[in-house]
Amino acid sequence: MGKKKIETVCGYSCSDCDHLGTECEGCVTNHGRPFWTQFVGIVTCPIYECCAHDRKLPHCGRCPDLVCERFARFKDPGMSDEEAAAGLIRMEQELRSRK
């Protein structure tokens, strides 16, 4: 049996992240403040902020604007553009399956 999937508002699974448990406890636990926000000079992830606080949705799959510009605003510098695009596709598919 694998790890339990930690679902987030954006469709990414924190349980797939190498930083979970070391640098970060996941968006659900830290209310949209993942480890990476400190590196881009923000406090809260803009996707989480919009979904959870502004629109009061359980996840972005319920949003009529999926996929919006917030999804492409920040990219892991260690990823190629192709890897980032593939990741966005996986996140969108996950979110649409939760609708």
Burial 79-94 (b: 16+ CB within 10 A, else e): eeeeebeebbeebbeb
Q: Is the pTM value of this prediction over 0.75?
A: yes
pLDDT digits (tens, 9 = 90+) for 14-59: 888 889 999 999 888 999 999 999 889 999 999 999 999 999 999 9
Residue 74, pLDDT above cutoff 90: no
Which residues is 13 bridged to in the sheet?
7
Per-domain residue ranges for the chain? 1-74
Instruction: Give the pLDDT of residue 3.
Output: 59
pLDDT 10s digits, 3-25:
567 789 999 988 888 899 999 99
Taking the C-alpha atoms of residue 34 and residue 99, their distance in angstroms, rounded to an integer, is 24
